[in-house]
Structures are given as C-alpha cells and as structure tokens.
C-alpha cells in the first residue's frame, strides 16, 4: 500500500494549461534551447553506440539529435538536407516533449482517481498566452491568492 500521504503532510498543486497554449509554450521553449546551444551541448556528449535509456543521454533532445549528429558530418555545409535533418530533430524534440507531458498528465489523473489524493488545480491558460516574460510574471502574481 502506498503510504506517502500517511507519512507526510502534503499539498499538491497542479498548474494546468489548455493543450494548444501548452503546445505553443513547448515549441517556444525548445526553440529557445536550440538558440541557446542545445545542438552543441548534445554534440559534446554524443557517442554513436551510447545507451539513450539512462543517464544524461536520456535527456530531452539527446535521442532526437542522434540521426542529425550521425549524418551532419557527411553532409556539405551548404546542403539544404543538413538543415532539413536539424529541423526534423527539433520537430521530434517538440513532439516527444508533448508526449512526455501527456504521460505526466496521466500520472496526475491516476493520483487523483486511484490514490484519491487531493490535488489543487490551477488553470493558468490566460497567464501563459502571452510570449513576454513581464506579462507572464504580472499575470502570475495577479493570480496568486493574498
């Protein structure tokens, strides 16, 4: 029997977004990660025969970059196929991140429905519709009680 709640005082807060807004946020964050050097970071730890099921290589973006990193050295710098491979890897990162979010949502629902845990659900869709950090911060601060 799962005794976590019996052992600890708990307060679970689930901050949810409308799926379309969440998908836009995922796209934006992945693009920011790519612009901040994701490809170079993954390239530094790339090992062709590595196990992508554990450790740092299991991180979001690493398995998705495999095909690009294997082929990019053999493709001419000006070749459009190199760009297409990279765009495909980025699209896969976004897709897999969305799938991960769906798995997390199922886990939250399981805690609520099967374990009967009390989870406070805050719907923050309106806050995260904007792209600017200031708008998000002000909206978040206005949503918080007291």
The answer as to whether 146 is a domain residue is no
Task: Dump pLDDT digits (tens) for 121-135.
Answer: 999 888 777 655 566
The answer as to whether 99 is a domain residue is yes
Gap between the Cα atoms of 99 and 101, Å rounded:
5
Domain ranges, residue 73? 4-139
Task: Dump pLDDT digits (tens) for 36-88.
Answer: 999 999 898 888 888 888 888 778 788 899 889 888 877 776 678 888 999 99
The answer as to whether 145 is a domain residue is no
The answer as to whether 131 is a domain residue is yes
CB atoms within 10 A of CB 55: 11
Q: Tell which residue, 57, 53, 29, has the closest CA to residue 42.
A: 57
* Residue 44, phi then psi, degrees to nearest 5: -65, -30
What residue has token string 């799926």?
A: 19
The domain total for the chain is 1
CB distance 61 to 33 below 8 Å: yes
The answer as to whether 144 is a domain residue is no
* Residue 122, phi then psi, degrees to nearest 5: -105, 120
CATH number at residue 33: 1.10.287.890
């Amino acid at each position: 029997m799962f005794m976590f709640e019996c052992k600890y005082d708990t307060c679970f807060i689930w901050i949810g977004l409308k799926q379309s807004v969440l998908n836009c946020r995922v796209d934006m964050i992945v693009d920011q990660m790519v612009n901040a050097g994701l490809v170079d970071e993954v390239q530094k730890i790339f090992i062709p025969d590595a196990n992508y099921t554990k450790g740092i290589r299991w991180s979001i973006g690493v398995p998705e970059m495999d095909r690009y990193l294997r082929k990019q050295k053999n493709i001419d710098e000006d070749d459009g196929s190199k760009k297409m491979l990279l765009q495909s890897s980025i699209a896969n990162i976004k897709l897999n991140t969305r799938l991960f979010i769906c798995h997390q949502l199922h886990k939250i629902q399981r805690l609520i429905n099967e374990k009967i845990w009390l989870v406070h659900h805050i719907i923050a869709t309106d806050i995260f519709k904007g792209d600017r950090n200031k708008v998000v911060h002000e909206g978040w601060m206005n949503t918080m009680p007291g």
